[in-house]
A = this chain, B = another copy of it.
Amino acid sequence: MNDFTFYSPTKFVFGRGYVDRTGAELKSCGFSKVLLAYGQGSVVRSGVLARVRESLEAAGVSYVEKGGVRPNPEVEWVREAIALARAEQVDGVLAVGGGSVIDAAKATAFGVPYDGDVWDIFDKRAAIGGCLPIAVVLTIPAAGSEGSGSCVISNDAENRKVGTSGDVFRPRLAVMDPELTFTLPAYQTVAGVTDMIAHICERYFSGVGAVPVTDNIATGLVNALMEATPRVLENPEDYDARATIMWAGMLAHNDVAGCGRSLNPATRAGGWESHGLEHEVSAHHPEVTHGAGLAVVMPAWMRYVWREDPQRFLDFAEAVFGIEPVDDEFAPREEAVEDAVTTAIDELQAFFRDSGMPATLADFGLTPDDVDPMLATLEKNKGKTFGAFKTLDMDDARAIYESCF
């Protein structure tokens, strides 16, 4: 068990109809005037925004609104939000939405007390100083941003998408009402689940051996997600299954599933290889949903790297799928191990596919000709080599991408 810091100071209030408590909870956490951030209108159409406004008014929490956060939130929106937050002298930022809205709210919150341009922080030319407190009403479980210290913002002018991390901008409050997700389409739901499983697996396959207390949490979350997903596909209003997905999505990324698994105690566990590889797919092909891209790339990465530490994959195979190597006196042990590991990866990919995710990059309309441009930006973003479970160079990355067709 390697050294670590774990700090998840968010107050999570979780339950049926809890969106109507937003104002009272904000009040009790000390918010008095917030910038209310939201996306491109789904929270208007669903009536969620109206309920949030009503609860803020009932609790006497003032607010000023700024909608229009897009998927892959852009720094220009953040700059405008910072200006508005300063002009209106808000004392906090409230995000109503999913990961994109939350990340835009986070960047706004730490941008307000910073004197220069907020992009300096993403560009590593400035450190985060202060940060306004952040609250969230979660409507799309996937990214885990409601509990995480992660924030990813795009800069169209520079054609970049950059993440930053820090405990200082973990949300102060997250209101989680699973009923808000009843109307989430199946594809988006499963893409979210895939992202959660990837958040868990990036930490599980982190280049560190077994850490049973953390690993049992990790595989327990995967099992709960795999049990809940078909129930939601069968009945989108299955409250318990929706609640499982919403809560597991937070736990998948607040780092409780990574404690003791980091090679460096100052950084999060995992090399985030699948996320890095997928990033280029959806960056070059914006029609690819991040989670759907992961459903293709992550199993391919697993098939490519498992020999680096077969035992880690055997642990996963047994804990998630109950698969163990079959001892056969006439066959070498290596065959039994390979069979067990590849069967487990097959099962994981079958789960994604059976839940509606694509299985190949061709399913998105990509061809092998699309690989070179992805490799070019991958090298820019991750360097010549990357990875914690197994060090990968660009030839390895090419082989993984090509195996996705």
Contacts and interface: CB of A to CB of B under 8 A. Distances in A.
Interface of A: 1-16, 18, 167, 178, 211-214, 216-217, 219-221, 223-224, 227-228, 239-240, 243-244, 247-248, 251, 256, 259-260, 265
Nearest to A9: B9
Contact of A7 (B12, B211, B213, B217): B12
Most chain-B CB neighbours within 10 Å: which of A13, A178, A212? A212
A221 B216 contact: yes
A244 B1 contact: yes
A228 B214 CA distance: 13
A217 B244 CA distance: 13
Given A3-B18, A7-B12, A15-B265, A247 B259 contact: yes
Contact of A1 (B10, B214, B247): B247
B1 A6 contact: no
Contacts of A256: 251, 256
A111 B217 CA distance: 37
A12 B6 contact: yes
A212 B239 contact: no
B4 A15 contact: yes
Contacts of A219: 216, 220
> How many copies are assembled?
2
B212 A244 contact: yes
Contact of A223 (B15, B216, B239): B216
A239 B1 CA distance: 8
What 6 pairs between A and B have smallest CB-CB spacing? A3-B15, A216-B220, A9-B9, A213-B224, A1-B243, A7-B11
Contacts of A220: 213, 216-217, 219-220
A16 to B, nearest CB: 6
7 contacts: A3-B15, A7-B12, A9-B9, A15-B265, A212-B224, A217-B221, A256-B256
A201 to B, nearest CB: 16
Contacts of A178: 1
Contact of A212 (B2, B5, B223, B260): B223
Contacts of A15: 2-4, 265
Contacts of A214: 247
A260 B14 contact: yes
Most chain-B CB neighbours within 10 Å: which of A2, A6, A18? A6
Given A220-B220, A256-B256, A265-B15, A244 B5 contact: no
A248 B224 CA distance: 20
Nearest to A25: B5
A7 B14 CA distance: 11
Given A1-B240, A217-B220, 12 more contacts: A1-B243, A6-B11, A6-B14, A7-B11, A7-B12, A9-B9, A9-B10, A211-B244, A213-B220, A213-B248, A216-B224, A251-B256
A14 to B, nearest CB: 5
B11 A251 contact: no
Contacts of A228: 212-213
Contacts of A5: 11-14
A220 B210 CA distance: 14
A193 to B, nearest CB: 12
B223 A247 contact: no
